[in-house]
Amino acid sequence: MTQILLIEDEPLISAFIAKGLKAAGFGCAVGSTGQAGLATARSSQIDLIILDVGLPDMSGLDVLAHLRGEGFTTPVIILTARSSAQDTVAGLVGGADDYMGKPFSFDELLARVRLRLRSHRTAAPGALVHDDISLDLLTRRVHVAGREQDLSAREFALLETFLRHPGQVLSREQLLSAVMGFRFRSRFQHCRRLRSLLASKDRP
């Protein structure tokens, strides 16, 4: 059974989400603090984590930093009342796979859980895969419809951001953060080139 770890300190929200996940056929472990969540993640086989930011003992972003720093590639969905553009960018840049604000629709949360699980399972270790696009994080190679494509470092960074958030509309701030430090004009030139490459059905 697919196991989901919910790190949430509000009892009513926690019980609501856990009940819904179990009704949908998932196993659900619950941690009400960051330390409890980290302990469960380290000691159990967890397939996905739903993470609140405002935890009583530490920030959820610190929990995320610990997980990514220890090599966990488990998909993480941040679910929090802190939903400004700045907070969203901080979460995604910190390694989250998705970011949802409260209040939320459980049906939407469930859809995102399934999407992240599906995307994670189709990717080989060190790779991001979506449809006929494959990005190898180790060799820095990109294949589209079986053909290798040459991308600049900027374009690779942008494509990695897109593939880490399939089905999600990314904000201007998120795209800018992916290529932080590059010249402003070139960021959008590379977006246009990627769009041209990926939009063609023939994938020349």
**How many other C-beta atoms are found inside a 10 Å radius of the C-beta of residue 82?**
19
Place of tokens 């179990």: 22
pLDDT for res 135: 81
Place of tokens 């951001």: 161
Question: Residue range 178-189: average pLDDT?
Answer: 51
pLDDT for res 185: 45
pLDDT for res 182: 46
- Starting from the edge strand earliest in sequence, which strands make up the sheet with 76-80, in order? 27-31, 3-7, 48-51, 76-80, 98-101
Top-confidence residue, 55 or 202: 55
Question: Residue range 100-128: average pLDDT?
Answer: 81
Q: Are 18 and 30 in contact (CB under 8 A)?
A: yes
Q: pLDDT of 141-162, one tens digit each?
A: 888 766 778 887 777 878 887 8
- Domains in the chain, please, with CATH? 3-122 (3.40.50.2300), 127-199 (1.10.10.10)
| CB neighbour list of residue 139: distance below 8 Å, 6 or more residues apart | none
Q: pLDDT of 11-63, one tens digit each?
A: 999 999 999 999 999 999 999 999 999 999 998 889 999 999 999 999 999 99
Question: Residue range 166-175: average pLDDT?
Answer: 68
pLDDT for res 157: 78
CA–CA distances in Å: residue 183 to residues 154, 186, 193: 10, 5, 16
Task: Work out whether strand 127-130 and strand 133-136 pair parallel, antiparallel, or are unpaired.
Answer: antiparallel
Per-residue pLDDT band at 77 (split at 50, 70, 90): very high
pLDDT for res 163: 79
DSSP the chain: --EEEEE---HHHHHHHHHHHHHTT-EEEEESSHHHHHHHHHHS--SEEEE-SB-SSSBHHHHHHHHHHTT----EEEEES--SHHHHHHHHHTT-SEEEESS--HHHHHHHHHHHHHHHHHSPTTEEEETTEEEETTTTEEEETTEEE---HHHHHHHHHHHHSTT-PPPHHHHHHHTTTS-HHHHHHHHHHHHHHHH-SS--
pLDDT at residue 166 is higher than 50? yes
Q: pLDDT of 81-94, one tens digit each?
A: 877 777 788 888 88
0.75 cut: is pTM over it? no
Top-confidence residue, 177 or 77: 77
**How many other C-beta atoms are found inside a 10 Å radius of the C-beta of residue 140?**
11
